[in-house]
């Protein structure tokens, strides 16, 4: 502009333009904050918290601060009209009507590392074993993205779990997902403890979800001791904790297992129980207004189960997660339970524990005729498969003709296959029994199988 130009020739910027310009500069110079990261509690019905003035995705952790300064943490689980719906992580915490709500973490991740080995954690990663709080430096997503199915390497190698009947007749492979279907009082916890202590896996991660608090203490004291405890991580959330914390515990245990798998480790993940996780999701789903479907379970339960199970398996890193999920059969009904049916359709095999076998003193009480490993033929040799098939057939013939013994109608010589099964029965029952303190290696199980299925 020349020095002689008339200032009136230039249009002065309007006040609106100046304000807009200043706001643009402010938006560049200031860090971006999450939209509406604080709000107020509007309603609470004993389970769901309704908040206004806050905008955050599901899975976000928030903190409620009461008028007296007390704080409660909660997780965003859904939305209704203009309100955000949350559920407390501490089920027993009292809620104040004037609480303010603020976002504390929108990144659902967990701290992981070797510092967790040998420790017992709660659903939020805090140590509950009386030791110092672990301070791991690495993180792992709590909710893993779905894996490319082509990244799941096939199950090709067996994993020694230290239990003769499983190693020999229901062989478990590295990266396999197996269900243990059982009612109460049939030796499920003892079997899990045997596998946790005797397995050849590099790392064991155990999720104890929704059980009684006493059972958590008993399991840790009785089954996690000696050298095996040093390679084990336990995540425990008893039944009296909130539904969101129970689900977070299952996801935390899985995320910890994923961390070690990504570093090339062979991991045994034990989740006890998948049914309690389903119950927790049922609580949340029904509270959100989902329609109850089969036996009162809302649809979200049947999407959670495969999402959790599919995170296990082999990876391109050379590591593997071999997963054992316990599924509770209410009243011993293994056919009509929707959680059993859903899990069995996704898993690579299942072991059914029988109450009648437990009552006869056979432990582990594995019902061979109802149990199967879908990968066994791919991970064992021909001789092993032949011997296992022979012993299975012998057991099937004996069980099919059990009524003959009850009625006293068995006639030796009438059925050669039944005669062989009768002669082999005592050997078979001894083969299936195992002392809980005595491991049986995969190689020893193969040798014992050759004897049990061989010539009499």
Classify strands 349-352 and 320-328 as parallel, antiparallel or unpaired.
unpaired
The β-bridge partners of 209 are 237
- Rounded (10°) CA dihedral 295, 298, 303, 304: -90
Coil, helix or strand at residue 109: strand
Beta-strand (E) ranges in 106-189?
109-112, 120-121, 138-141, 177-182
Provide the pLDDT confidence category of residue 6 given band limits of 50, 70 and 90.
Answer: very low
Q: Compute the chain's Rg from CA coordinates.
A: 28
DSSP string, 17-56: HHHHHHHHHHHHHSPP--TTEEEEEEEE-SS-EEEEEE--
Q: What is the pLDDT of residue 9?
A: 43
d(CA 208, CA 250): 8
Residue 397 in tokens? 């013939």
Please say if the pLDDT value at position 7 is more than 70: no
Dihedrals φ, ψ of 280, to 5°?
-65, -45
| 142-146, 206-210, 223-227, 364-368: least confidently modelled range | 223-227
Please say if the pLDDT value at position 431 is more than 80: yes
More confident residue, 75 or 213: 75
Classify strands 203-209 and 232-237 as parallel, antiparallel or unpaired.
parallel
d(CA 375, CA 305): 21
Summarize the confidence of residues 52-73 as an average pLDDT: 89
Domains of the chain: 38-105 (2.40.10.170), 109-378 (3.40.50.12240), 384-453 (1.20.1270.330)
Residue 186 in tokens? 């049939």
Instruction: Please name the residue that has the structure tokens 């894996």.
Output: 147
Q: What is the pLDDT of residue 280?
A: 96
Q: How many CB atoms lie within 10 A of CB 340?
A: 22
Using alpha carbons, select from 63, 68, 73, 75 the residue that is nearest to residue 100: 63
**Measured between alpha carbons, how far is residue 400 from residues 119, 394, 414, 430 in Å?**
48, 10, 15, 20
Residue 148 in tokens? 């490319």
Summarize the confidence of residues 246-255 as an average pLDDT: 96
Q: What is the pLDDT of residues 359-401, one digit of tens each?
A: 999 999 999 999 999 999 999 999 999 999 999 999 999 999 9
Summarize the confidence of residues 434-455 as an average pLDDT: 95
| Percentage above 70 pLDDT, the chain | 91
Residue 217 in tokens? 């203490």
Q: What is the pLDDT of residues 17-53, one digit of tens each?
A: 555 555 444 443 333 344 467 889 999 988 899 999 8
Please say if the pLDDT value at position 326 is more than 90: yes
Q: What is the pLDDT of residues 95-150, one digit of tens each?
A: 888 889 999 988 788 999 999 999 999 999 999 988 899 998 899 999 888 888 88
d(CA 176, CA 201): 13
Buried b (16+ CB within 10 A) or exposed e, 271-293: bbbbbbbbbbbbbbbbbbebeee
Instruction: Output the average pLDDT for the chain.
Output: 88
């Amino acid at each position: 502009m020349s020095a002689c130009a008339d200032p009136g020739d230039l249009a002065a910027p309007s006040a609106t333009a100046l304000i807009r310009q200043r706001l643009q500069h402010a938006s560049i110079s200031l860090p971006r904050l999450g939209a509406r990261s604080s709000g107020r509690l509007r309603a609470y019905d004993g389970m769901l918290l309704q908040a206004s003035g806050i905008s955050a995705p599901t899975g976000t952790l928030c903190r409620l601060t009461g008028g007296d300064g007390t704080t409660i943490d909660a997780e965003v689980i859904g939305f209704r009209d203009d309100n955000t719906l949350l559920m407390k992580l501490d089920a027993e915490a009292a809620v104040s009507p004037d609480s303010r709500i603020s976002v504390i973490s929108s990144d659902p991740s967990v701290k992981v590392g070797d510092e967790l080995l040998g420790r017992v954690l709660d659903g939020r990663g805090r140590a509950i074993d009386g030791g110092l709080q672990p301070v791991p430096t690495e993180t792992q997503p709590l909710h893993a993205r779905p894996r490319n199915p082509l990244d799941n390497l096939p199950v090709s190698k067996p994993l020694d779990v230290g239990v003769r009947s499983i190693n020999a007749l229901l062989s478990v492979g590295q990266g396999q997902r197996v269900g243990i279907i059982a009612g109460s009082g049939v030796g499920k916890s003892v079997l899990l403890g045997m596998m946790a202590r005797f397995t050849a896996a590099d790392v064991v991660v155990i999720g104890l979800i929704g059980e009684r608090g006493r059972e958590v203490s008993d399991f840790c004291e009785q089954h996690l001791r000696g050298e095996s405890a040093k390679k084990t991580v336990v995540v425990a959330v008893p039944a009296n904790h909130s539904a969101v914390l129970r689900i977070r515990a299952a996801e935390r245990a899985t995320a910890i297992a994923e961390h070690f798998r990504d570093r090339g480790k062979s991991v045994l993940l034990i989740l006890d129980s998948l049914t309690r996780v389903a119950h927790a999701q049922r609580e949340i789903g029904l509270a959100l207004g989902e329609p109850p479907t089969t036996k009162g379970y809302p649809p979200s339960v049947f999407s959670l189960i495969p999402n959790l199970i599919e995170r296990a398996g082999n990876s391109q890193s050379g590591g593997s997660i071999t997963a054992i999920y316990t599924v509770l059969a209410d009243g011993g009904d293994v056919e009509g339970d929707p959680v059993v049916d859903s899990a069995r359709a996704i898993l690579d095999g299942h072991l059914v524990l029988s109450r009648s076998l437990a009552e006869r003193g056979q432990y582990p009480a594995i019902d061979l005729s109802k149990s199967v490993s879908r990968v066994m033929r791919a991970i064992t040799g021909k001789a092993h498969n032949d011997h296992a098939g022979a012993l299975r057939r012998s057991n099937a013939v004996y069980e099919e003709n059990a009524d003959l013994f009850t009625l006293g109608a068995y006639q030796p010589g009438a059925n050669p296959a039944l005669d062989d099964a009768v002669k082999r029965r005592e050997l078979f029952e001894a083969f299936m029994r195992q002392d809980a303190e005595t491991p049986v290696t995969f190689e020893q199980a193969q040798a014992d199988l050759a004897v049990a299925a061989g010539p009499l």
